Amino acid sequence: MAVQRWVYIKYFCALSVVVSHLCKLIYLGPAFSQFFDFGTYAVAIFFFLSGYGLSYSCIYKKNYLKNFLKRRLLKIFLIYFIATLLWVVICLPFVEINIYDLWRICSVYPILPYGWYFVVLMVLYLIFYLSMKWTYSSVLIYIVLIVGYIVCFLSGIGEWIYMTSPCFALGIWYAENEDRFSVFIHRYKYRIFVALLIAFGCSWRSYFLKMLHVQYTLQTFNGIIACTISALALVGVIIVILETCKLPFLTSNHLPDYSFEIYLSQYISIPFVMYYMNHSTSSTMFTIANFQCVVYLVFMTGILVFLFHLIIHKIQKYVSK
Higher pLDDT, 10 or 255: 10
Residue ending a domain, choose from 205, 230, 245: 245
The reported pLDDT for the residue numbered 105 is 82
The sign of the dihedral angle between the CA atoms of 302, 168, 155, 213 is positive
Mark whether 159 and 296 lie in a shared domain.
yes
Count structural domains, the chain: 2
The Cα-based distances of 261 to 101, 221, 274, 302 in angstroms read 25, 33, 20, 9
Mark whether 157 and 216 lie in a shared domain.
no
Mark whether 214 and 258 lie in a shared domain.
no
Mark whether 145 and 196 lie in a shared domain.
no
Amino acid (1-letter code) at residue 32? F
For residue 127, pLDDT beyond 80: yes
In the three-class reduction of DSSP (H, G, I as helix; E, B as strand; rest coil), residue 192 is classed as helix
Task: Give 157's contacts (C-beta < 8 A, 6+ positions apart).
Answer: 108
Task: Give 108's contacts (C-beta < 8 A, 6+ positions apart).
Answer: 116, 119, 120, 157, 158, 161
How far is residue 19 CA from its own chain's centroid? Answer: 14
Mark whether 147 and 132 lie in a shared domain.
yes
pLDDT band at 30 (very low <50, low <70, confident <90, very high): low
pLDDT digit string (tens) for 173-227?
Answer: 999 998 888 888 888 889 999 999 888 888 776 555 555 545 555 556 677 888 8
Mark whether 18 and 102 lie in a shared domain.
yes
Mark whether 230 and 279 lie in a shared domain.
no
Question: Which stretch of 23-32, 34-43, 295-304 has the lowest confidence by average pLDDT?
Answer: 23-32
pLDDT digit string (tens) for 83-93?
Answer: 888 888 887 77
Domain ranges, residue 207: 189-245
Spatial distance between the Cα atoms of 304 and 288, rounded to a whole number of angstroms = 24
Mark whether 109 and 193 lie in a shared domain.
no
The sign of the dihedral angle between the CA atoms of 8, 74, 174, 13 is negative
The reported pLDDT for the residue numbered 172 is 93
